[in-house]
Homo-oligomer: A and B are copies of this chain.
Amino acid sequence: MTDTIDLLRQSGIQPTPQRIAVAEFILGSKTHPSADEVFVMVRQTCPTVSRATVYNTLNLLVEKGLIRQQVLREGTIIFDSHVAAHHHFVDEETGEIHDVPWDAVQVSGAEKLIGFEVHEFQVVMRGRLRAK
């Protein structure tokens, strides 16, 4: 809570109750929620917050580098509190998105493609979550 406020201040974001609520939720989230999913959840702790403020705050957090956007789900952008490089696995049945650690997969050749100056890359996997 105070650490969230400090984090926002350090990133040049004026902490308001709404922004703190959004930041607390998304930074603590391990799923990869859409803006509307964040809106629904944040409403539970901050019932008067508007949709516009949630969207604006998420975009602001992306701009300041505290979270990332990912294009992985059809129809909507998702937000990822995990900013370090990693890969993703999409469950084809449920649509759930799971993080795959950077070192769990090895990729070679991406940097030396002719014609392309690659700034970043990730492996996107699709399949089924294995019953454990």
A120 to B106, CA, bound (A): 16
What's the minimum C-beta distance from A129 to chain B, rounded to whole angstroms? 7
Across the interface, do A110 and B105 meet the contact criterion of CB distance under 8 Å?
yes
**A93-132 with Cβ < 8 A to chain B:** 98, 100, 104-110, 113-130, 132
Interface residues of A, CB < 8 Å — how many?
37
CB 8 Å contact bits of A23-41 with B (1 = contact, 0 = none): 0000000000000000000
Q: Are B126 and A113 in contact (CB under 8 A)?
A: no
Residues of B close to A84: CB separation below 8 A: none
Query: Does A73 belong to the interface (CB within 8 Å)?
Result: yes
Q: A105's closest neighbor in chain B, by CB? A: B109
